Amino acid sequence: MNNLQVVIDAGHGGSDPGAVSSSGVREKDLTLMISQYMLEEFQKRGVPVTLIRGTDETISPTERVNRVLAAYGDNPNVVVISNHINAAGSGIQGAEGAEVIYALRDNSNLASNILTALGNAGQKMRKFYQRRLPSDTSKDYYFMHRNTGSNTHPVIVEYGFIDNPTDLAKIQNNYKEYVDAVVDAVIATYEGETVPSLSGDNYYIVKSGDSLWKIANQYGITVNELKNMNGLTSDNLSVGQILEVPTLDNSSNSDDTYIVKSGDSLWKIANQYGLTVAELKNLNNLTSDNLSIGQVLKISNSLDNNTYVVKAGDSLWNIANKYGITVNELKSMNGLTSDNLSIGQVLKVPNSNNTYIVKSGDSLWSIANRYGTTVNELKSLNGLTSNTLMIGQILNLP
């Protein structure tokens, strides 16, 4: 596996039991069980791997860090996985799901991939995040992040909540599937891949500037419905938090809009609707290639028979010619003082009952049927030699 090297830390141990369930299950035992299986799985995949606690022994934070750095040194090929089981504490009922905490020196790719993989394996996804030391916010809160060099990539994986009997049972019954998911995610990240979410349409990752109102509005539900879906008791959100959301149905797209779903890209959508990426970006006033699930995009080159959206290669002359008017008339209709146009610009054009602008999903048959004519008559009226149409094309009608 090229130069990837993995260090596995089984959290707690010996005199430090970690969190303990009401039935007496100890975190240190679960993390050791998880870590021993993880060791075997990395070995099967040919990845150099070291487990720094293979028995029930007490290890101080300093010794734990020393063992991490002694395994393969402080180098950028080393991924450190510290396995833990979460606890919500007294007074909090029903917390469930996985979390991944990553170091301030790293980007979120590894943590995001691990959490997504755990979600694909059937565990509820809570969030991936960083945590700062309150007394010095330039430093990580956890020593496993703070003291393991400056080049290694440490993550703390919380597989679920030991004080939630349902979540505890899921961990005990499914830990091998969860470990397989984490191992695959680490390898995928090292190879520069993104773990695809099997149920990405049902999740939303909170980003900077988000609010419950904004997200709820995006998915057509109320804030209370969103909070109930996620068991939230406050309006506070954190970047990287995973929220369950309703599945978006793109069958509700209008002829002129498209709702972004998991796995979409500007290139994919533009290609689907016969546009260039530049046209799609200009049509939607986008300044970057980033998309978010649920985002509504304009995808038609015509808004209605009174407007026209400029596309690549257009000029005032050819647009005016299409509508049987002069360039000066077109400029006057739109208050233009120059002949310059930009892709995605919306122009007012004459409304004609004798013309039709082709939209996404149109065919000669559907247009002919709509206007009480035949395909052959429509082709003859427009000098067409094939049945191929382009979005934005102007057709003469009988």
Q: Tens digits of per-residue pLDDT, 208-251?
A: 778 888 887 777 678 888 888 887 888 888 877 888 887 655 44
pLDDT at 79: 98
pTM of the prediction? 0.58
* Mean pLDDT over the full length of the chain: 84
Which domain-ending residue is among 150, 165, 198? 198
* pLDDT greater at residue 345 or residue 143: 143
pLDDT in tens, 292-344: 766 778 776 444 556 777 776 788 888 877 776 778 878 877 788 888 887 66
Q: Which CATH number is 167's domain given?
A: 3.40.630.40
pLDDT at 255: 53
pLDDT in tens, 18-60: 999 999 999 999 999 999 999 999 999 899 999 999 999 999 9
pLDDT in tens, 79-98: 999 999 999 876 666 789 99
Domain-located, residue 178: yes
Sign of CA dihedral 169, 172, 177, 183: positive
pLDDT at 261: 73
Using DSSP's 3-state secondary structure scheme, residue 157 falls into: strand
Using DSSP's 3-state secondary structure scheme, residue 140 falls into: strand
Average pLDDT over residues 172-193: 92
Domain-located, residue 316: no
Give the total number of structural domains in the chain: 2
pLDDT-above-90 percentage for the chain: 41
Residue 198 has pLDDT above 70, yes or no: no
Domain-located, residue 96: yes
Domain-located, residue 118: yes
* Residue 170 one-letter amino acid: K
* pLDDT greater at residue 230 or residue 10: 10
Which domain-ending residue is among 182, 198, 214? 198
Q: Which residue has the tokens 């809160």?
A: 141
Residue 136 has pLDDT above 90, yes or no: yes
Structure-token pair, residue 261: 């779903």
**Alpha helices by DSSP H, 78-129:** 109-120
pLDDT at 252: 46
Question: What is the distance between the alpha carbons of residues 181 and 170, in angstroms, rounded to a whole number?
Answer: 15
pLDDT at 196: 62
* pLDDT greater at residue 136 or residue 320: 136
pLDDT at 199: 44
Average pLDDT over residues 112-133: 91
Q: 226 with 216: CB under 8 angstroms?
A: yes
Domain-located, residue 359: yes
Domain-located, residue 57: yes
pLDDT at 2: 62
pLDDT at 80: 98
Residue 182 has pLDDT above 90, yes or no: yes
Query: Which structural domain, as residue segments, surrounds residue 356?
Result: 352-398
Average pLDDT over residues 248-262: 61
pLDDT at 290: 82
Domain-located, residue 181: yes
* Residue 110 one-letter amino acid: L
* pLDDT greater at residue 138 or residue 369: 138
How many other C-beta atoms lie within 10 A of the C-beta of residue 146?
18
Rg (CA), the chain: 29
pLDDT at 344: 65
**Alpha helices by DSSP H, 231-348:** 266-272, 277-283, 316-322, 327-334
Structure-token pair, residue 99: 């979390």
Q: Which CATH number is 362's domain given?
A: 3.10.350.10
Structure-token pair, residue 305: 């028979």
Average pLDDT over residues 166-194: 92
pLDDT at 178: 96
pLDDT at 223: 84
Residue 363 has pLDDT above 50, yes or no: yes
pLDDT at 292: 74
Domain-located, residue 203: no
* Residue 68 one-letter amino acid: V
Residue 16 DSSP symbol: B
Average pLDDT over residues 103-128: 91
Residue 44 DSSP symbol: H
Confidence bin at 355 (pLDDT 50/70/90): confident
Which domain-ending residue is among 146, 165, 198? 198
Q: 182 with 170: CB under 8 angstroms?
A: no
